[in-house]
Structure 1
């Protein structure tokens, strides 16, 4: 009898292990050149969702690795994440210049040292405190290896050189893209780190040629084309230069997809976007996975991993 009870207990434990399993969709690149090739546009480009601010939702706040881990349970993802600077010049993950909206703290983030920032907790999308603390860029980069591509949004006042130094220090060149907002910023990154991929604001020939004149190579560009579907000629030109396109769906497009049809995400990829930067990464990712399946698109860099 006792033996039977033990066997039943062990069986239940094994079942618990099975049901506790989760999936992760991971992306891995051995070098910056592999990343560049993956992000170079072709008709076989694999469509990806970019989780805006990492994919926050109920229980998971902006810009922290537990949220990133939750995001990649549903689909492979580019993680867009924001970098701010503490009073003692530590690179920390935060979108706003103030703590009030996303943490239990108040006031300017630049008024606190990193140690002082650890007194606060991050809040989720409903304003509920979570167990998670403000993380450093170093922590985020270390977590991301072999899991995601990062697009690093460098907030105003943060020295670009410090961000590049962090990428180097963590050997994160193979999965990091630096976001820039104008030609001069793109040129600065190209000068400081000519090997890194750069997200540039480009909506056509004039924008690309302006950056090329400043030393930014087209093969290092991924073009952010705005937050509304551009004209076909924009995609046509950028594709002719082998430049992949990021369309921002956060805001009106996400709202339209939620109200009308999730299939909108599918159509935006068919129109010419390669990446959709979305606040609804799970829903957008499901449509992108369908598009990839329908068009028989695959990538050796994307793997589905079962975790316990």
Structure 2
């Protein structure tokens, strides 16, 4: 008990310390309609590169998949929030990446062995294992928070029905700031059938992948292409851009490690090479380079607002 209390007060200290030095502004992404979001995310030579904060942008004092963490992330750059959705024992959609609670909370065991009320007895921990004041949130809470602040990239964990995700997006009127992640053509086709108006993140590395999905009824103008966690060949970017499909490159892992070791200007070069969105565990460092790119190219959008706090 003493050790847990010590960790709790340490996490509170870190929380207060980080917030006292945080930038006193927020970079917000705001859309009134789904058409505005689609137009913003459709590739053009004026495309503004964005960072996608992997699992919301966790740093010391701020745990994964938590609105407090999302709020911290948008103090540094306009942010797409990649966040993970699991299902509790009593079928409540909750924000969690792992199948088990051990790594990210004060609890242990499988998340689907706990009811929502039982999950509320736990606290989230940051990636260093520090207990934080934050609790596991529901998808409804997250969607309500995100309006006029971020674009969500919703990562649906195995076993979670897509219909429930679509229903939550509809219930919270979050269509204008939500993208649903899919991992194969059949998943993408299911989402396209359930919600033909929503943007979908699809796994695509060229013409064959796009045409396979089009044959299943997925419209190219609703696709954002995840091209993998290593740079694709230039012709992959060329084809996808010719179809006005923006490209997400996953830098979490090896690319982030390389940037940390060799210099953050690597993120700038990745955008020059053809990536449009970088999904990163180093969202602050990557975001600085992406904003520099946008400034250098004089790229602006009415949908990016800077709010002084």
If the length of structure 2 is used for normalisation, what is the TM-score?
Answer: 0.93
Aligned to 1:109: 111
Misfit runs of 4+, over 6 Å: 18-21
* Aligned with 2:212 (options 210, 213, 217): 210
Structure 2: how far apart are the matches of 1:52 and 1:21?
21
Aligned to 1:199: 201
* Aligned with 1:81 (options 80, 83, 86): 83
- What's the CA shift string for 1:156-181, capped at 9, x where partnerless? 00000000000000000000000000
SS in 2 for 1:222: strand
Structure 2: how far apart are the matches of 1:107 and 1:136?
19
Aligned to 2:155: 153
Structure 2: how far apart are the matches of 1:200 and 1:26?
25
Given that 2:203 and 2:225 are in contact with CA atoms closer than 8 Å, whether structure 1 keeps it comes out as yes
Question: Unpaired segments of 5 or more residues in structure 2?
Answer: 1-19
Aligned to 1:295: 297
SS in 2 for 1:254: helix
Structure 1 residue 21: Cα displacement? 7.3
What is the aligned length? 290
Structure 2: how far apart are the matches of 1:285 and 1:108?
34
Aligned to 1:141: 143
* Aligned with 2:49 (options 47, 50, 69): 47
Structure 1 residue 131: Cα displacement? 0.2
Q: How does 1:183-194 map to 2 (within 5 A)?
A: 183-194=185-196
- What's the CA shift string for 1:76-127, capped at 9, x where partnerless? 0000000000000000000001000000000000000000000100000100
Aligned to 2:127: 125
* Aligned with 1:27 (options 26, 29, 35): 29
Aligned to 1:239: 241
Structure 1: how far apart are the matches of 2:22 and 2:76?
16
SS in 2 for 1:269: helix
Given that 2:22 and 2:75 are in contact with CA atoms closer than 8 Å, whether structure 1 keeps it comes out as no
Structure 2: how far apart are the matches of 1:281 and 1:100?
25
SS in 2 for 1:304: strand
Given that 1:21 and 1:306 are in contact with CA atoms closer than 8 Å, whether structure 2 keeps it comes out as no
* Aligned with 2:230 (options 228, 231, 240): 228
- What's the CA shift string for 1:216-254, capped at 9, x where partnerless? 000000000000011000000000000000000000000
Aligned to 2:277: 275
- What's the CA shift string for 1:21-72, capped at 9, x where partnerless? 7110000000111000000000000000000000001000000000000000
Structure 1: how far apart are the matches of 2:39 and 2:23?
33
Structure 1: how far apart are the matches of 2:98 and 2:306?
33
Structure 1: how far apart are the matches of 2:22 and 2:250?
34
Aligned to 2:69: 67
- What's the CA shift string for 1:176-203, capped at 9, x where partnerless? 0000000000000000000000000000
Structure 2: how far apart are the matches of 1:103 and 1:86?
14
Question: Unpaired segments of 5 or more residues in structure 1?
Answer: 1-17
1:305 aligns with 2:278: no
* Aligned with 1:180 (options 175, 182, 185): 182
Structure 2: how far apart are the matches of 1:102 and 1:52?
15
| Cα separation, partners in 2 of 1:42 and 1:115, compared to 1, 3 Å | same
Structure 2: how far apart are the matches of 1:257 and 1:19?
25
If the length of structure 1 is used for normalisation, what is the TM-score?
Answer: 0.93
Aligned to 2:15: none
| Cα separation, partners in 2 of 1:20 and 1:160, compared to 1, 3 Å | closer
1:263 aligns with 2:265: yes
